[in-house]
Amino acid sequence: MGLSARSTAADTKRLKAVDFFCGAGGMSYGLTKAGIHVLAGIDNARDCEKTYLANVPGAEYIRRSVEWLSAPELGRLLKLKKDDPRLLFSGCSPCQFWSKIRTDRTRSARTSQLLSHFRKFIRYFRPGFVVVENVPGLFRKKNESILGEFLEFLKSLDYVYADGLVNANNYGVPQNRIRYLLVATRLSATVSLPEKDEDLGLIVRKFIGVHNGFPKINAGHIDPTDRRHTASALSEANLRRIELTAHSGGTRIAWSKDAELQISAYRERDNIFRDVYGRMSWDKPSPTITTRFHSLSNGRFGHPEENRAISIREGATLQTFPPEYRFVAPNLSSVARQIGNAVPPEMARRIGLHLSRCYPYG
């Protein structure tokens, strides 16, 4: 058998994916590393397009809102067939509305219904597999969110599913990152979530720091290379605050009695929002990398010992983006948003491997 014949035979057993709400490509990249052929990512975010195309070779970026993209049109664009057992649809929609992070509820209300738009593509194509990764609030508020209706919809199309809350730290990611995960298929009578590993020992010390190739930098340092080991500048007051904060896990309690440094909102309220202005601990997983991880005042995002917030590349590393992953965006906030919104690539890779093993015709 010639090489081309072998490749054709292998390709008939290979899953192929369309990544809805793809963002900067964390899910797509992880699926490709699991051997899945990613056909395209779909997102209406203009600032993610160049990042996605720079890192997910062979995949298209369809910059459209799923609200206005029709299923037949998508079929024509990607030459998709209905009822293809090898087809995987990933729908990791942004759902700030169900997140516990404070946000503009009016502006995020539209995101609460994105799963309903995802349904039309599932109904039309009936892919072999469906994956959803989202904020835990979607699951915890199942009766209020669109999730309950979405699950009934899957059952009506003869899908079986497994779902629940998982910690990305059990799937190769050095974060305590709690997410809702759903895996569904119409190819078998049962399906499970990927098996978790509770003994990986994934802590901050193993991923960032000088010993991992991150040279010491000051707040406000700008890395002119694609690596983006860049740290946000700090005001004089914030610089004094972090200087007083104990290394490896220190909190704002260290300066709470200083009248000049204490934040008015926290005066005599040291028990609320304890992570804000805190440092990460070397010997624990990092907190969830959010879209504002580059800001000292938005969580426990202080470097374990250097007097600054973690850098853009350090945040990407804690999200398991590899060193060569290139983020293309006009400013720090845009890059941080791309990173914080992403499905961690290593978690996505493990999901992809699990689904490939579940494929009954391989």
How high is the pLDDT of residue 358?
A: 94
| Rg of the chain in Å (alpha carbons) | 21
**Nearest Cα residue to 331 out of 310, 303, 312, 314:** 312
Contacts 24+ apart (CB under 8 A), 147-155: 147/115, 147/180, 149/116, 150/115, 150/116, 150/119, 153/119, 153/122, 153/123, 154/122, 154/130, 154/184
Residue numbers of the chain with a pLDDT score lower than 70: 1-12, 95-112, 143-144, 268-273, 362
Structurally, what CATH architecture does the domain formed by 3-196+343-358 represent?
A: 3-Layer(aba) Sandwich (3.40)
Domain ranges across the chain = 3-196+343-358
The confidence score (pLDDT) of residue 198 equals 81
Catalytic residue selected from 22, 48, 92, 95:
95
Res 237: pLDDT: 95
How many whole angstroms separate alpha carbon 72 and alpha carbon 124?
8
DSSP string, 5-32: HHHHHHHTTS-EEEEET-TTSHHHHHHH
Residue 10 structure tokens = 């292998």
pLDDT score, position 107: 44
95 given a catalytic annotation = yes
Are the C-beta atoms of 153 and 109 separated by less than 8 Å?
A: no
